[in-house]
Amino acid sequence: MSEARVIDGKEIAAKVRADVAAEVKSLKASHGLTPGLAVVLVGEDPASKVYVRNKAAQTVECGMNSWEHKLPEDTSEADVLAMVDKLNKDKAVNGILVQLPLPKHIDSTKVLNSIDPDKDVDGFHPVNVGRLGIGERSLVPCTPRGSVILAKSVIPDLSGLNAVVVGRSNIVGKPMLQLLLQENCTVTVAHSRTKDLPAVVRQADLVIAAVGRPEMVKGDWIKPGAVVIDVGINRITKPDGKGKLVGDVDYADCAKVAGAITPVPGGVGPMTIACLLQNTVDATKMQHGIK
């Protein structure tokens, strides 16, 4: 059997960023608007610092304004809420992102829910969750949005496909369900209580794995020719003691059966920031009543 086509997330993310940059240019020319993204980082988490640096660099590369607000680890919840309130009121700021995880003494839900839903470029606010559920124009969580773009790069019309999403988190699995319903897929959402998961996944023309368990999805779970999108990012230690990033899908095993598959790294990962930039442009347009 031939190997699956590899879906190149880096290349597709670069295209999304180029489209964003073109839209930013045209918004400047037509409306005198420069979209702006403010990122709030509390504390010293090394991975968060890298994410925030990458987000800021790519925001600027696309021609947008970028602000980084770095607050010390011991900042009070009240001070973080005050910072969000200030950004909510700042007309130059179109998108607000509070980098997670927040230090333990801060209630993340309270902080995320204090972001103006129209500036909530992560799409986590209950108002945006509701808007997505009823099919209204909304800001959509970045990782599911990017996953759909990757699936459509192989099958432009997903209509009528059987899609199985493994995982039901608020940030990936549940918004994924809504987006795939909008694409007219027949969607099954599986989770830790699902009976005979391999048999459920075997029904899928499109598999989205967002489980957080290294290489859990095996080749004999995959219907021949199915499209496999691996959202998982897991750091494992190889027998030689070296670290390695792997997805929730056993890539080598599934690539023998699937029609197309995303690698880890280089699949869904790069799409997340690209979609954050797209969300910032979308937020700007929504705030100014631009279609």
Q: Which residues of this chain interact with ligand NDP, rule CB under 6 A?
A: 143, 166-169, 171-173, 190-194, 197, 210-213, 231-234, 248, 268-269, 272
Choose the catalytic residue: 118, 120, 122, 248.
122
**Tokens (6 digits) for 28:** 């400047």
CA distance 63 to 184: 35
Contact 208, 163 (CB under 8 A): yes
Measured from the CB of residue 273, what is the shortest distance to ligand NDP in angstroms?
8
Cis peptide preceding 72, ω within 30 of 0: no
Residue with Cβ nearer ligand NDP (117 or 167): 167
- Start-to-end CA distance of the chain, whole Å, equals 46
Compute the least distance from the CB of residue 210 to ligand NDP, in Å. Answer: 4
How many Å separate Cα 40 from the centre of its chain?
18
Residues 201/228, Cβ–Cβ less than 8 Å: no
Instruction: Considering the complex, state which of residue 87 and residue 211 has its C-beta at the smaller distance from ligand NDP.
Output: 211
Q: Which of 129, 141, 125, 153 is nearest to 15 (CA)?
A: 153
For ligand NDP, the closer of residues 212 and 219 by Cβ is 212
Smallest gap from Cβ 287 to ligand NDP, in A, equals: 26
Distance between CA atoms of 142 and 129, rounded to whole angstroms? 13
Main-chain phi, psi angles of 143, to 5 degrees:
-65, -45
d(CA 216, CA 198): 10
State the nearest-atom distance from the C-beta of 172 to ligand NDP, in Å. 4
Query: 99, 174, 205, 230: which one is catalytic?
Result: 99
Tokens of 17: 């960023």
Q: Which of 55, 174, 223, 285 is catalytic?
A: 55
Does the active-site annotation cover 55? Answer: yes
Judge contact between 176 and 208, C-beta under 8 A. yes
58 is catalytic: no
CA–CA separation, 74 vs 178, rounded Å?
37
Neighbours of 196 (CB within 10 A): 9
Q: How far is the CB of 64 from ligand NDP (least distance, A)?
A: 20
- Residue nearest ligand NDP (C-beta atom): 169
Closer of 93 and 141 to ligand NDP (Cβ): 141
42 or 208, CB closer to ligand NDP?
A: 208
Active-site amino acid positions: 55, 99, 122
